[in-house]
Amino acid sequence: WARGEAGPYTVIASYITASEQFGFEPIPIFMLARDNVLVGDDPAKVTFEREGIYIDQKTGKPVAATTRYTYQDDEDRYVVSFTRTHDLSANRMVDTIKGVKRIAAKLMHFDGAYLRFVGDLQISRYRAGDLVETYKDDAIWELMYFGHPR
């Protein structure tokens, strides 16, 4: 999940992938506000993209260098990008478990991971295809895996 502020905008965004029993259905969560007034929160209007995917060395999980949420509402299109500059943490969850629970987790092949990033948040607004405004600031966001990546 991610949260950040750039210029007059505040964004909260997440892209969750359901487990196999739910068909790996994506669940986008998105809220964008400008000057504390809601601009958009309809998940049906959000698309999600990942760019620059690499495998994190410590966790073995795929990570995107850039995650992008695009919110299309009539003639207005908002593009919210989180671009990683470095990691704050990258941990395999099983490494934090002690004793018998750790042994059980390893036997069950528990493969969870928690990663936290620092980077740039950029929010751009387009009207009828023309760039109207762009704001950029620092942000922190997280990535969690509770199982094996697809």
Domain boundaries, the chain: 45-145
Rounded distance, CA 8 to CA 30, Å? 17
> For all residues of the chain together, what is the average pLDDT?
89
* C-beta atoms surrounding 94 within 10 Å: 16
The pLDDT-based confidence of 91 (bands split at 50, 70, 90) is: confident
- Residues 18-47: what's their mean pLDDT? 92
Least confident of 7-11, 126-130, 140-144: 140-144
Q: Is the pLDDT of residue 107 over 80?
A: no
- Indicate if the pLDDT at residue 145 is higher than 90: no
The answer to whether 69 touches 83, Cβ cutoff 8 Å, is no
Is 41 exposed, middle or buried (CB count within 10 Å of its CB: 0-12, 13-18, 19+)? middle
Between 7-21, 33-47, 106-120, 124-138, the lowest mean confidence (pLDDT) is in: 106-120
Of 20 and 135, the one with more pLDDT: 135
Q: Residue 18: pLDDT above 90?
A: no
Looking at residue 60, its pLDDT comes to 86
Q: Evaluate if residue 77 carries a pLDDT over 70.
A: yes
